[in-house]
Amino acid sequence: MTNSIDQNTNASTITSLLQPTHTVLTVDLARCRNDENRDRWFPFTPEDLAYAQSVCAGCPLAKACLTAGQDNKELGVWGGRYLEKGVELPLPAERRRQRDQRVS
């Protein structure tokens, strides 16, 4: 999957946005920190979202990550939730499916 988002920039954005909640807690503990599938953090398919959520599951920084994504109005998976402009939403494909079901 390719998209126009610079994945290296996003990795450093995530790192800079996640502030430790305790002095011993650092972004190095984030389960996504060295993930090789960075494009899956900006998912547009249910499979990519499921992958990102599985990595977030059990992450000690998930709550701080979600808060950072919401506060900074981010796009993508933050703390296991899909955000657009910091607001949790279904994936675009799921929104289209829901809209089509309402129209039918």
In a domain, 2, yes or no: no
In a domain, 1, yes or no: no
In a domain, 14, yes or no: yes
pTM over cut 0.75: no
Q: What is the pLDDT of residues 33-63, one digit of tens each?
A: 888 888 888 877 888 889 999 999 989 999 9
How many structural domains compose the chain? 1
In a domain, 90, yes or no: yes
Distance from C-alpha of 74 to C-alpha of 80, rounded to nearest angstrom = 13
Distance from C-alpha of 57 to C-alpha of 65, rounded to nearest angstrom = 12
Gap between the terminal Cα atoms of the chain: 31
Residues spanned by the domain of 11: 7-103
Confidence check: pLDDT of 83 > 90: yes
Here the tokens at position 68 are 């950072």
Confidence of residue 12 (pLDDT cuts 50, 70, 90): low
Nearest to 56 by CA among 78, 72, 29, 34: 78
Tally of residues, the chain = 104
36 by Cβ neighbours in 10 Å (0-12 / 13-18 / 19+) ranks as exposed
Alpha helices in 1-104 (DSSP H): 7-17, 46-56, 62-71, 92-103
In a domain, 72, yes or no: yes
Confidence check: pLDDT of 29 > 80: yes
